[in-house]
Amino acid sequence: MQDLWSAAGLPTRALSRVRLIGTEPVLPSSFRVGTAAQSAIALTGLAASEIDRLRTGREQAVTVDILHAALEFRSERLLRIDGGNAPELWDPIAGTYQCGDGRWVRIHTNFEHHRDGVLEILGCANDREAVAAALKTWQAEAFETEATDRELVVAMMRTPEEWAAHPHAAVLARQPVISIEKIGEAKPTPLPPQDAGDRPLSSLRALDLTRIIAGPTGGRALAAHGATVMRIGSPNLPVVPVLVMETGRGKLAVHLDLDTTAGKAGLERLLRDTDVFIQGYRPGGLAERGFGPEEAAERRPGLVYVSLSAYGDEGPWGGKRGFDSLVQTATGINAAEAQAAGSDLPKALPCQALDHASGYFIAFGAMAALMRRAEEGGSWHVKVSLARTGQWLRDLGRLDGGLSCPEPSEAQIRPFLTVSDSGFGKLTHVTHAARLSETPPRWDLPSVPVGTHLPVWPG
């Protein structure tokens, strides 16, 4: 926490207000996933409390329980609808397969166009056994390369040593975990005055143009501390229903088609009154539509623009598509976890730790940039990538015997759950783990289907 807090240019004295409860291990893993969860969530809570201190003068204590934080990193798994199970998260053919050279690949087929693209390469039916047989005719790296060239999402499993020797690993090692860069000039923008609302981020507005877990988690964290957050989706882009339910709390949810003139005009109107702009398009994707970081900052001087990517925007894999599970596979995490378990099969982390940590880094980076905007002015660009977050997780070190940690019991989980109404029924979900002493986090708006609201900021 101290390293990331200081790297963001924030005062170290604030760290004395944080209380971290509990010790590892809390989930079965050889990686310090509990420490990662606790640290990332505590950073967002402390940043919110620091904004509150600058606005009101009060100094709030921030408490994060390590088990609570780890469970929040599993939030999509723990979601329940009307007391029953949430919809299935994974497509039937998604997962790991062994290729003809004995190496493993992971395919991600939750979106129809990704699934159909993989099946087209393989020339087989949409059936797990057919996919397994077809991949036996491929070498793993050749299949990964072919899929990447077609802008699909596939990863070959590498050992930590193989990833360390990969040219992209060297590029990531030179980058900060959370990049916060000034990209334009603007007068200082004061934080909202004390009477603008009773929560740290009251009166601040954020646009959330992301899907899946990491980006939406960042927007949800801002909403938990009082920001008005608007999730923008396209009627032409697929979604994973359980993730819309899980990450939609506290947000307005609108549709805008950015491939149309009307959609671009709608986004431009919203942008004029926006403080934070979070986007998870592939690197360059929004710039092609006229809303890259520099263009957006020209339209809205003083904007905090946040970019999320899988592997960053530089280096041989800059712009490569990917998701948490694939990054774990490509960068040695699955192989390292398997080795610790004494297995030859790929072994995933017990949660989507790269997604969730990156989501809280998004919220933390945005709040750090808002504080710098208030002090020195300017427009700011915050960059987070899943692969760089994965390197941060590895740098936290490993746990001897961590895989022998038992799964949390229902009795351990129950205190951290709550039930709320939504546009999908009654949702049982994990509460937010960062507890602020004066302004406890909460979500004022229920999760609703994307497109429920109009693309207009509330009065």
Measure CA 178 to chain center.
Answer: 13
87: confidence class by pLDDT, cuts 50, 70, 90:
confident
| Mean pLDDT on 436-445 | 97
Classify burial at 304, counting beta carbons within 10 Å of its beta carbon; exposed 0-12, middle 13-18, buried 19 or more. buried
pLDDT(285) > 90:
no
What is the average pLDDT across 171-183? 97
pLDDT of residue 95: 97
Residue that wins the pLDDT comparison between 86 and 199: 199
Asked, for residue 99, whether it belongs to a domain, the answer is yes
Q: What is the mean pLDDT of residues 246-269?
A: 97
pLDDT of residue 180: 98
Give yes or no for residue 283 having a pLDDT over 90. no
**Would you place residue 202 in the very low, low, confident or very high pLDDT band (cuts 50, 70, 90)?**
very high
Q: pLDDT above 70 covers what percent of the chain?
A: 100
Inter-residue contact 114 to 238 (CB < 8 Å) = no
What's the confidence (pLDDT) of residue 237? Answer: 86
- Non-local (6+) Cβ contacts of 150 within 8 A are 117, 121
Confidence of residue 85 (pLDDT cuts 50, 70, 90): confident
- 456 band by pLDDT with thresholds 50, 70 and 90: very high
Please tell me the total count of domains within the chain. Answer: 1
Whole-prediction pTM: 0.97
State how far the Cα of 356 lies from the Cα of 28, in Å rounded to an integer: 17
Distances (CA, A) of 437 to 19, 80, 148, 204, 434: 11, 28, 47, 21, 10
Q: What per-residue confidence (pLDDT) applies to 166?
A: 97
Residue 284: pLDDT over 90: no
- In this structure, is residue 422 part of a structural domain? no
Residue 336 lies in a domain: yes
Q: Is residue 301 in some structural domain? A: yes
Let me know if residue 150 belongs to a domain: yes
Note the pLDDT of residue 196: 87
CATH of the domain at 240: 3.40.50.10540
Please state whether beta strands 18-21 and 62-65 pair in parallel, antiparallel, or not at all (unpaired).
Answer: parallel
Give me the mean pLDDT over the 401-417 stretch.
98
* Total length of the chain: 459
Query: Which two three-digit tokens encode residue 19?
Result: 């209380």
Q: Give domain status of residue 13, yes or no.
A: no
- Cβ 334 vs Cβ 410: under 8 Å: no
The CA-atom distances, in angstroms, between 247 and each of 78, 206, 218, 221 are 13, 15, 9, 9
Domain range enclosing 280: 90-400+441-459
Cα torsion for 373, 376, 381, 386, to the nearest 10°? -80
Structure tokens at 12: 């170290």
Domain presence at residue 26: no
Is 62 a member of any domain?
no
Residues 6+ apart with CB under 8 A from 213: 76, 243, 247, 324, 352, 355, 356, 359
